[in-house]
Amino acid sequence: METPVIEVRDLVAGYGKLQVLQGISISLSDGEIVSLIGPNGSGKSTLIKSIVGLAKVFSGHILYKGVDILGFRTDRLARLGIGYVPQLSNIFLSLSVEENLEMGAYARSDGRSLRNDMEAIYSLFPELKGRRKERAENLSGGERQMLALARALMGRPKVLLLDEPTASLSPKATASIFQCLKRIRDSGTPILLAEQNALKALESSDRCYLLVAGKCIAEGPSEDILGNKDIGRLYLGLRVGA
């Protein structure tokens, strides 16, 4: 059986003395987009932050390719291949698009391939190519989020963790971001994302975990979760017929 890229086992985590997650277990394998959905305060972002060392873990295990990484510093996790895009402060507004991409590769020593990777990024995000010399502060919300994703990819991550990638974006920009995520997955980088827009997440991901009050109450193929009328009505705000 293939070893998951990311595996979380019986995780209890939170902040200070507050335990937000109550024994969560999830996994992410190569070739997948896996979404974490649920109401506000359900623990989606805390789970992502726990994996990258930004939340307090009380008990449980976090495995990366079968190796327990619990307690590893965030910079060490990045060097191992775990890319992370936070919801806020994920680009340098005063720098150009191209300078942001260069910053994404700061830890790399293979300068010769940097230019080739940047061109590959522009192929993946054609919206950014024509604005490569423009300051990031002049980009739209959707373009800024694309730049955040592109910047993370410049570090050549083996896996990408995203915290609310479409927060505050318009429906059009949200649709564009999810199309980008599919292209990233298809290019060989699996994705785990916490997402408030449950419907779009289910439509775009391969599998899903539904979190409520720090516990996982449903999991499985996204199409199965989307087709469950009770889940749609009770937790996702979807109007479904009887």
Which residue has tokens 């990233």?
Answer: 184
CA Rg, the chain, in Å?
Answer: 18
Domains of the chain plus CATH, in order, are 6-234 (3.40.50.300)
> What token pair was written down for 61?
């295990």
Q: Over the stretch 54-92, which tens digit does the pLDDT of each residue have?
A: 999 999 999 999 999 999 998 899 999 999 999 888 999
In this predicted structure, the answer to whether residue 117 has a pLDDT above a threshold of 70 is: yes
* Helix pair 111-124, 141-153: axis angle to 10 deg: 140
From the number of C-beta atoms within 10 Å of its C-beta (0-12, 13-18, 19+), residue 215 rates as: middle
In this predicted structure, the answer to whether residue 93 has a pLDDT above a threshold of 80 is: yes
* Helix pair 171-186, 111-124: axis angle to 10 deg: 130
In this predicted structure, the answer to whether residue 168 has a pLDDT above a threshold of 90 is: no
Distance CA(152)–CA(203), nearest Å, equals 24
pLDDT confidence of 229, banded at 50, 70, 90? Answer: confident
Residues 36, 211 contacting (CB under 8 angstroms): yes
Q: Quote the pLDDT of residue 108.
A: 63
* H or E, element range at 215: strand 215-221
Pairing, β 67-68 against β 56-64: antiparallel
Q: Over the stretch 182-192, which tens digit does the pLDDT of each residue have?
A: 999 999 999 99
Q: Over the stretch 17-65, which tens digit does the pLDDT of each residue have?
A: 999 999 999 999 999 999 999 988 999 999 999 999 999 999 999 999 9
Q: Look at 113-117, 118-122, 192-196, 218-222 and tell me which has the smallest mean pLDDT.
A: 113-117
